């Protein structure tokens, strides 16, 4: 085959989400919007392209994301642009750029959209992936940390997700962290030679990142390094104690994980992750934390903040099983397939399709003359709940045949009553939102 005619495939690490799965994505997003709305979060949509410096400064020059994973390119005027690897920096940038702090109070913002990281693709890890994220800007109160986590737990429970674990840590702040870093550097001196090449470099450039290392052979060494929780300053300690106390009061279980420093540099105080047993190696369903210094890192006024991002690809993988059985998660069914037989029936059949569609029912109709048996085959293949049959006889009697495709039962219904008839029979299959508990 010549090069010109070779089929052009999608880019490695990117995926087409086909209709057989997009209904799950829509279901997950609808639940997310419902829960976020209940906690008074409002949607923000920021550009996918940002100046490279935004991520370099906030996510951190020494992080894997910035050193290895960003899709960065020089624009035609040589400006360095990057496809966003995450959206927290963008949300904080937008908050500053539009002076949202002038609206008074705290801002609770959420976003849903694609992110880009050039990682090695595998199940649950893609180069274009999707996040559902939320950020609370303008307060450093520990109650907000607990409330954000409470909201996440509610969301996951509404998705009937089981086998999840909440990991919690504090990474201190610019006041207490230097002392911990000194202790950590000192401890690393002794073991440095046994760590991977990346960690040997990190020991000098950003020792906290060593705790984040995923290399198997490094793990026993890292486990023995000093814990940041033993070096928190009084303010960070108090904050962390308040967060854990509030989580316990809310009946939320957590595991304190001193190594949880997360892969981004902007974090201060609380950090957390939720892992899912339903996922394989890529088991981090979501991650988040507080970033009280981020706004200043990108040249804005001091603005405390906390947030999280859920990996939507992973979330969909995890809920896929549980979702199959839930009425609300099934692909929205075609309500009716309209079968017409004979030229004279085409006009009333089209009229009926139009009317039912106006009423919001999903309807399909054949575009060319087709035998009854074949039409019924089509109705069944497209998953129509009902077939409405209009032949010469039906035109004369003024009553259409309605066949229930699941039970096989057939009934005559007058055109005027058809919408109500279909609606009442379909009611059980439609998505009824669960109450917020
Ligand atoms: P992150 O931990 O880098 O945090 O990403 C959050 C989640 O995105 C991960 O837990 C994972 O589920 C998903 N994720 C990350 N990379 C990939 C990938 N290559 N393929 C599939 N899923 C992926 C952040 O992005 C921060 N902005 C979270 C945050 C918000 N912190 C404060 N506010």
Rounded CA-CA distance 315/286 in Å is: 9
Q: Are strands 107-116 and 128-137 parallel, antiparallel or unpaired?
A: antiparallel
Are 434 and 327 contacting, i.e. CB atoms less than 8 angstroms apart?
no
pLDDT at 428: 59
Residues sharing a CB contact under 8 Å with residue 88, sequence separation 6 or more, in sequence order: 58, 133, 135, 264, 266, 291, 294, 305, 307, 309
Rounded CA-CA distance 382/378 in Å is: 6
- Contacts of 205-213 with C-beta under 8 Å, sequence gap 24+, read 205/62, 206/60, 206/62, 206/63, 206/265, 207/181, 208/171, 208/177, 208/181, 208/184, 208/261, 209/62, 209/63, 209/261, 209/263, 210/184, 211/259, 211/261, 212/259, 212/261, 212/262, 212/263
Which parts of the chain have pLDDT scores under 50? 325, 327, 430-435, 437
pLDDT at 62: 85
Rounded CA-CA distance 212/124 in Å is: 19
129, 257, 287, 304, best to mutate for ligand 1 pocket (most atoms within 8 Å of CB): 287
pLDDT at 413: 97
pLDDT at 94: 98
Are 51 and 157 contacting, i.e. CB atoms less than 8 angstroms apart?
no
CA 384 to chain centre: 30
Which DSSP category does 125 fall into?
B
308 lines ligand 1 (CB under 6 A): yes
Kindly provide the residue ranges of all beta strands, DSSP E only, lying in 117-208, ordered along the sequence: 128-137, 164-170
311 lines ligand 1 (CB under 6 A): yes
Distance 284 CA to ligand 1 centre (A): 8
Distance 124 CA to ligand 1 centre (A): 11
Gyration radius (Cα) of the chain, Å = 28
289 lines ligand 1 (CB under 6 A): yes
CA proximity to 128, closest of 44, 238, 245, 11: 11
CA proximity to 390, closest of 402, 382, 381: 402
The C-alpha angle 432, 436, 437, rounded to 5 degrees, equals 125
Are 58 and 135 contacting, i.e. CB atoms less than 8 angstroms apart?
no
Tokens 């829960």, residue located:
35
Q: Are strands 334-340 and 384-390 parallel, antiparallel or unpaired?
A: parallel
Length of the chain: 437
State which ligand 1 atom lies nearest to the alpha carbon of 121.
19
Taking CA atoms only, the protein residue closest to ligand 1 atom 3 is 263
């Amino acid at each position: 085959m010549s090069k010109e005619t070779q089929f052009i495939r999608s880019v490695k690490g990117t995926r087409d989400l086909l209709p057989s799965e997009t209904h799950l994505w829509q279901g997950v997003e609808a639940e997310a919007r419902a829960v976020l709305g209940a906690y008074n979060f409002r949607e923000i949509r920021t550009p996918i392209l940002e100046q490279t410096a935004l991520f370099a400064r906030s996510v951190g020059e020494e992080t894997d994301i910035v050193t290895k994973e960003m899709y960065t390119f020089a624009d035609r005027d040589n400006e360095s642009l990057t496809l966003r690897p995450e959206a927290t920096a963008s949300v904080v940038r937008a908050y500053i750029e539009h002076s949202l702090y002038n609206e008074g109070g705290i801002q609770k913002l959420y976003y849903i959209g694609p992110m880009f990281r050039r990682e090695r693709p595998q199940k649950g890890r893609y180069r274009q992936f999707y996040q559902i994220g939320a950020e609370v800007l303008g307060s450093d109160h520990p109650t907000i940390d607990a409330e954000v986590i409470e909201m996440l737990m509610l969301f996951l429970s509404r998705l009937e997700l089981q086998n999840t674990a909440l990991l919690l840590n504090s990474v201190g702040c610019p006041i207490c962290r230097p002392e911990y870093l000194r202790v950590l550097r000192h401890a690393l001196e002794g073991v440095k030679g046994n760590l991977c090449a990346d960690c040997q470099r990190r020991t000098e450039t950003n020792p906290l990142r060593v705790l984040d290392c995923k290399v198997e052979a490094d793990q026993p060494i890292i486990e023995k390094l000093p814990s940041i929780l033993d070096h928190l300053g009084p303010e960070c300690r108090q904050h962390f104690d308040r967060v854990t106390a509030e989580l316990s009061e809310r009946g939320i279980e957590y595991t304190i994980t001193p190594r949880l420093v997360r892969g981004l540099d902007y974090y201060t105080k609380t950090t957390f992750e939720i892992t899912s047993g339903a996922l394989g190696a890529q088991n981090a369903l979501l991650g988040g934390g507080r970033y009280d210094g981020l706004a200043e890192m990108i040249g804005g006024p001091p603005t405390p903040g906390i947030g999280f991002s859920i990996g939507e690809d992973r979330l969909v993988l995890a809920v896929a099983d549980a979702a199959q059985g839930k009425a609300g998660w099934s692909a929205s069914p075609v309500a009716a397939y309209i079968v017409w037989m004979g030229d004279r029936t085409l006009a009333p059949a089209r009229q009926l399709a139009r009317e039912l569609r106006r009423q919001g029912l999903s309807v399909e109709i054949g575009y060319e003359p087709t035998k009854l048996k074949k039409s019924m085959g089509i109705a069944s293949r497209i998953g129509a709940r009902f077939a409405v049959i209009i032949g010469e006889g039906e035109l004369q009697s003024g009553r259409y045949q309605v066949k229930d495709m699941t039970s096989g039962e057939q009934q005559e219904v007058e055109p005027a009553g058809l919408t109500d008839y279909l609606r009442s029979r379909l009611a059980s299959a439609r998505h009824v939102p669960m109450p917020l508990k």
